[in-house]
Structure 1
Amino acid sequence: MPLTIQEMARRSGFSEPTLRYYEKIGLLGVVERDASSGHRRYDETVVARVEALACLRSSGVTVDGMRRYVELVDKGDGAAGELRELFDEHAAHLAAEIERLRVRQEYLVLKARMWDARDQGDRRAEAETVKRVEEILRRF
């Protein structure tokens, strides 16, 4: 049974305006309308596409990346290599972002230790921690 826009929004995590926008820019393909009310009805094919887009979006893929994904999926199996490249590129981008987040986390942990050492009056521990913080800052 086709889903309403409200049901699709709840299921996907996208807002209703986002679903309308994605439809407008061609990411969803054809979204059928109820004959009597004109309201959107998301069939299994569109639901599957929205769910795929939700996964892509949650992993940080941009709208342009989603457009490229849709273009390639619509080409069929002949685009498998290009799809692999698309996912490999995004996985590498995500790995780099994770590393940046790890560095930021390490920075915050060290800053907390630095302030703890200062609070405890431990100048040696504070100086060592400051040195490590400076090393982290060079990695930014």
Structure 2
Amino acid sequence: MAATKAGRDRTQPPLTIQEMAQRSGFSEPTLRYYEKVGLLGVVPRDDSSGHRRYDTPLAERVDALACLRSSGMSVAEMRRYLALLDEGDRAAAAEQHDLFARHAERLTTEIERLRVRQAYMRGKADMWAARYRGDSAAEARAIKQVERTLQEF
């Protein structure tokens, strides 16, 4: 039995949509939507019930899309990524690099914004804690920190 990189046995039975949703973190409507807009292709159906069945390669594709989506990649960018995969590694390598490099830069910017927001929240928590304790000196320091943080917005 060959195992995938994620350790999943390729001979395991296909997953139901509920199992795929639980595994990927996508909702069932999102999985249906991704099928509808072509990100998943045609999802095979159970012959007797007509219910969707996600075989191992398709489940791995959903896993990859879940990773991309959780990083903030848009549906259009995911669609482009998949189209480039179809072109082959060598032919699309430069464009795939550009797609991921641009997205990584957006993530860097978002992380910086989140760090500023985190510093603001910490400063506000410190201010309120000092106010609760009646420590006016600590409160004043926290207020100054919050004001400096606001300048970074």
Q: TM (normalized to structure 1)?
A: 0.87
Alpha-carbon distance in 2 for matches of 1:30, 1:70:
14
Alignment-derived partner of residue 49 in structure 2:
37
Alignment of 1:28 onto 2:40 = yes
Q: What is residue 66 of structure 2 aligned with on the other side?
A: 54
Q: Are residues 114 and 37 of structure 1, via their aligned partners in 2, closer, same or farther at CA, if it must alter by over 3 Å?
A: closer
Structure having the larger proportion of residues in helix: 1
Once residues 108 and 35 of structure 1 are traced to their aligned partners in structure 2, the CA distance between those partners, rounded to angstroms, is 54
Question: 2:26 aligned with 1:14, yes or no?
Answer: yes
**3-state SS of the aligned residue for 1:42?**
coil
**Count of residue pairs brought into register by the alignment:** 140
Partner AA of 2:15 in structure 1:
L
Q: 2:81: which partner in 1?
A: 69
| Cα offset, 1:22, TM superposition | 0.4
Per the alignment, residue 82 of structure 1 pairs with 95
TM-score normalized by the length of structure 2: 0.80
Give the aligned residue type for 2:72.
G
Amino acid at match of 1:27: L
Q: Distance in 2 between matches of 1:28 and 1:36?
A: 22
Alignment gaps of 5+ in structure 1: none
Output the aligned Cα RMSD: 1.8
Whether 1:117 aligns to 2:130 is yes
Task: Supply the AA of the counterpart residue of 1:6.
Answer: Q
The letter of the residue matching 1:116 is A
C-alpha distance after superposition, 1:14-52 (max 9, x if no partner) = 121111110000000222222333222222221121110
Residue 63 of structure 1 aligns with an amino acid whose one-letter code is: V
Partner of 1:91: 104
- Percent of aligned pairs with the same residue? 66
SS in 2 for 1:33: coil
**Cα 1:45/1:127, change in 2 over 3 Å:** same
**Cα distance in structure 2, aligned partners of 1:113 and 1:39:** 53
